[in-house]
Structure 1
Amino acid sequence: MNTKYIDLISQTFDFPQEEFELKENALTFHNIDLMGLVKKYGAPLKFTYLPKISENVNRAKFWFKNAIEKNDYKGSYHYCYCTKSSHFEHVLTEVLQNEVHIETSSAFDIEIVERLKSKGKVTNDTFVICNGFKREQYICNISRLINEGHHNCIPIIDNYEEVDLLSESIGRKFKIGIRIASEEEPKFEFYTSRLGIGYKNIIPFYKKHVVNNTQVELKMLHFFINTGIRDNAYYWNELQKCLKVYVDLKKICPSLDSLNIGGGFPIKNSLAFEYDYQYMIDEIVNQIHSTCLEGNVPVPNIFTEFGSFTVGESGGAIYEVLYQKQQNDREKWNMINSSFITTLPDTWAINKRFVMLAVNKWDHEYERVLLGGLTCDSDDYYNSEQHINAIYLPKYRKDRPLYIGFFNTGAYQETIGGFGGLQHCLIPQPKHILINKDENGNLSTQLFREQQKSEDFLQILGYNEN
């Protein structure tokens, strides 16, 4: 009988895969010896494999290059990285090695941009697309960046006051974009996005607030939907509505020359994941080209804002199964030595699924289990995989430690989890490892942050020693 864990995985998926292989019955990820990582640093741990970031940036650039050539498209393409996905300096440094641009969401983002400029990693030619609802500090920081000569900083207007607020603070001519408030998918609790200005109000807004303001030059129309870029009727319908607005606006606004289609490329969340990125990009570029041709206006330069797609597949987390609890006839709980709530908050907050695999013991028999975290919260668990309503792992034995890995966790988890701050039930944030590759393909590891200590929590909580 095929009862080993390797049999289960091989029968369920095409395995091995591009990033996952086995060596001596243990899992590797992009040729990273995961058990070697555990032996060197212990578990729990998180890691970031930096080369994957550049790889995904350049994959997207290649796909858009193909689509532009295929459609004889006359506009240019610009890749922007959404800093909110991961603000870490090592992430931005890796991203910016690939001639890309930046999308920001709040006031402190601008200070990160200024730090990067001081190190020569960002220049005045780098597009800084400023999204988000802008209050005083954000307006102040954007204005400072533009006043100091960053001519490619483009604040995206999100509400009716922002043009006037920016005009009061900026002492020179500046560029802006306008964000469309797209209609949400029917299953949403609300009908229209809270972000941006409604389709029907874009042109009236331009005529009232922009056309007579000689300080402002409208360059970009911004389109984004919450569910991301997916091949369904909802996405194509919203894109067509956006393109109609672009054509109508372009006819009365000669300076408009760019369309930002936002982001939302999915990332691999299962070994069974399938998504035809090239097809989607071909179709998007084709629809933009066809609609502009029909409307008799020049095609726009295309901007994208990829966050999760850029950094998500670079991250992973490894835990040790500490103990197994048999709670009833059917439910076995494998208790990990950390917490899902604190280290992978999306698993409980929005029921997100990541690629989850055993790291070792692939030659052992498997069993059905539930995974539980260390906190006393009943929501601190992980109970199913993307492809099936269950989890199967090698059988637990107290004398043979079992390690499990969650992969493609590099977007949002640290910021949502409050990296370096208080954690639920004071479960410490695990150590974080950076993994890089030199020009010869040799891997190197670096400890970025140690696991949190009690002193870190006590200081935050105000328990300072006298």
Structure 2
Amino acid sequence: MNTKYIDLIDQTFDFPQEEFTLDTDNLRFHGIPLIELVEKYGSPLKFTYLPKISENINRAKNWFAEAIEKNGYKGKYYYCYCTKSSHFQHVMHEALKNDIHIETSSAFDINIIENLKEKGRLKNDAYIICNGFKREQYIENIARLINSGHRNCIPIIDNYEELDLLSEVIEDNFKVGIRIASEEEPKFEFYTSRLGIGYKNIVPFYENQIKENDKVELKMLHFFINTGIRDNAYYWNELAKCLKVYVRLKKICPSLDSLNIGGGFPVKNSLAFEFDYQYMIDEIINQINIACQEADVPVPHIFTEFGSFTVGESGGAIYEILYQKQQNDREKWNMIDSSFITTLPDTWAINKRFIMLPINRWHDEYERVLLGGLTCDSDDYYNSEQNMNAIYLPKFRRNKPLYIGFFNTGAYQETIGGYGGLQHCLIPQPKHILIDRDEHGDLVTTLFKPQQKAEQMLDILGYDTSGPKSISKKKLKERTIPVQG
């Protein structure tokens, strides 16, 4: 009988896959021997595989280049990374190796931009697309960036007051974009996005506030929908409405030359994942071409803002199964050595799916289980709702450690989880490892941040940690993990 875990995977999915392979009994991710990573650094463990960031950026650039050539498209393409997916320096540095542009969403993003410029990481002619609702600090920071000479900073107008607020603090002429408040999918609880200006109001807004304003130049129309870029009637219908607004604006606004189609490319969340990226890009370019030709207006330059797609597939988390609890005759709970709420918040907040696979023991017999976190919260679990299918893992054995990995977790999880701050039930933040390759292609690992300590949390909570330590002098027996390499 086919009772081993490897048999289950072989009969369910095409395996091995580009990023997932086996080394005898152990899983490799992009050639990374994960069990050696665990043996060297222990668990729980988070890691970022930096080369995957550059790989995805260049995949998208090549898809657009091919579509532009195929359709005889006359506009240019600009790849923007939206920083809210992951603000970490190592992510930004890796992304900026690839001649890209940046999209921001809040005031402190501008401080990051200024730091990157000062260090020579970001070019002076790079586009900075400033999205989001703009409060006073964000307005001031945008103005400071433009006033310092960064002419390709484009604030995207989100509401009717922002233009006046920006004009008051920006010293010279400046460019702006307008965000379309797209209609939401029928299943949403509201009809129209809270962000941007409604379809019917955009042309009147231009005519009333921008057209006769010598200080402001409308450069861009910004289109984004919450569901992202998907091949369904809803997406194509919203894109068609956006293009109608673009061609109307273009006929009365010669300076308008760019269309930002936002982001939302899906990230692989299952071994059965399928998405035809090239087809979607081909069809988007084709639809823009057709709409502009029919209206007899020049096609726009295309901007995209890929966040999760840029960084999502670079991240992973590794946990050890500490214990198994049989709570009734049907449910076995495998308890991990961390918390889903704190380390993978999207799994419980929005039932987001990530690829979950064991790191070792692939040739052992398997069983159906549920996964539980360490907190005393009933929502701290991961089950078939998030995983799409029932969860099967090699059978729990007290004398045979089992490690599991969650993959493509690189977007949003750290910032939503409050990286470096307080965690639910004071579960510490795991250590974080950066993985890169040297000039010979060999793997290089670096400890980015150690596991969070009690003193750090007590300091945040306001406790005085400067006095004598209130712990027993009795030394607890420690479990050590061998180090390789």
TM range (shorter): over 0.9
**Residue matched to 1:379:** 379
CA–CA separation in structure 1 for the residues paired with 2:10 and 2:402: 20
**Residue matched to 1:412:** 412
**Residue matched to 1:444:** 444
CA–CA separation in structure 2 for the residues paired with 1:140 and 1:265: 32
3-state SS of the aligned residue for 2:251? Answer: helix
**Residue matched to 1:59:** 59
Amino acid corresponding to residue 6 of structure 1 in structure 2: I
Q: Which is worse superposed, 382-391 or 66-75?
A: 382-391
Whether the 8 Å CA contact 1:356–1:404 is kept in 2: the answer is yes
1:71 and 2:79 are equivalent in the alignment:
no
CA–CA separation in structure 2 for the residues paired with 1:316 and 1:117: 29
Whether the 8 Å CA contact 2:455–2:465 is kept in 1: the answer is no
**Residue matched to 1:458:** 458
Whether the 8 Å CA contact 2:101–2:128 is kept in 1: the answer is yes
How far does residue 440 in structure 1 lie from its aligned partner after superposition?
Answer: 1.7
Q: 1:303 to 1:264 in 2, by over 3 A?
A: same
**Residue matched to 2:121:** 121
Amino acid corresponding to residue 128 of structure 1 in structure 2: I
Query: CA offsets, 1:45-75, max 9 Å, x none?
Result: 0000000000000000000000000000000
CA–CA separation in structure 2 for the residues paired with 1:300 and 1:391: 47
**Residue matched to 2:164:** 164
- How does the TM-score come out when normalised to structure 1? 0.99
**Which blocks of at least 5 consecutive residues in structure 1 are unaligned?**
none
CA–CA separation in structure 2 for the residues paired with 1:273 and 1:314: 17
How far does residue 122 in structure 1 lie from its aligned partner after superposition?
Answer: 1.0
How far does residue 388 in structure 1 lie from its aligned partner after superposition?
Answer: 4.2
**Residue matched to 2:155:** 155
**Residue matched to 1:332:** 332
**Residue matched to 2:421:** 421
How far does residue 124 in structure 1 lie from its aligned partner after superposition?
Answer: 2.0
CA–CA separation in structure 2 for the residues paired with 1:196 and 1:316: 34
1:143 and 2:173 are equivalent in the alignment:
no
**Residue matched to 2:27:** 27
Query: CA offsets, 1:130-180, max 9 Å, x none?
Result: 000001000000000000000000000000001100000000000000000
**Residue matched to 1:296:** 296
Aligned residues: 466
**Residue matched to 1:134:** 134
Query: CA offsets, 1:195-232, max 9 Å, x none?
Result: 00000000000011111111000000000000000000
**Residue matched to 1:190:** 190
**Residue matched to 1:85:** 85
CA–CA separation in structure 1 for the residues paired with 2:116 and 2:384: 41
Whether the 8 Å CA contact 2:351–2:386 is kept in 1: the answer is no
**Residue matched to 2:481:** none
Query: CA offsets, 1:3-36, max 9 Å, x none?
Result: 0000000100000000000002100000000000
Whether the 8 Å CA contact 2:353–2:388 is kept in 1: the answer is no
- How does the TM-score come out when normalised to structure 2? 0.95
**Residue matched to 1:353:** 353
3-state SS of the aligned residue for 2:384? Answer: coil
CA–CA separation in structure 1 for the residues paired with 2:350 and 2:210: 39
CA–CA separation in structure 1 for the residues paired with 2:374 and 2:422: 15
Whether the 8 Å CA contact 2:347–2:386 is kept in 1: the answer is no
CA–CA separation in structure 2 for the residues paired with 1:421 and 1:464: 17
CA–CA separation in structure 2 for the residues paired with 1:256 and 1:414: 37
Q: 1:109 to 1:82 in 2, by over 3 A?
A: same
Identity of aligned residues (%): 79
CA–CA separation in structure 1 for the residues paired with 2:263 and 2:440: 33
CA–CA separation in structure 2 for the residues paired with 1:72 and 1:178: 27
How far does residue 385 in structure 1 lie from its aligned partner after superposition?
Answer: 6.5
CA–CA separation in structure 2 for the residues paired with 1:39 and 1:116: 35
Amino acid corresponding to residue 181 of structure 2 in structure 1: A
Query: CA offsets, 1:304-349, max 9 Å, x none?
Result: 0000000000000000000000000000000000000000000000
CA–CA separation in structure 2 for the residues paired with 1:387 and 1:404: 14
How far does residue 464 in structure 1 lie from its aligned partner after superposition?
Answer: 1.6
Whether the 8 Å CA contact 1:356–1:385 is kept in 2: the answer is no
Amino acid corresponding to residue 23 of structure 2 in structure 1: K
How far does residue 387 in structure 1 lie from its aligned partner after superposition?
Answer: 6.6
CA–CA separation in structure 1 for the residues paired with 2:398 and 2:171: 68
Whether the 8 Å CA contact 1:385–1:391 is kept in 2: the answer is no
Amino acid corresponding to residue 299 of structure 1 in structure 2: V
CA–CA separation in structure 1 for the residues paired with 2:295 and 2:241: 13
3-state SS of the aligned residue for 1:97? Answer: helix
CA–CA separation in structure 2 for the residues paired with 1:281 and 1:422: 41
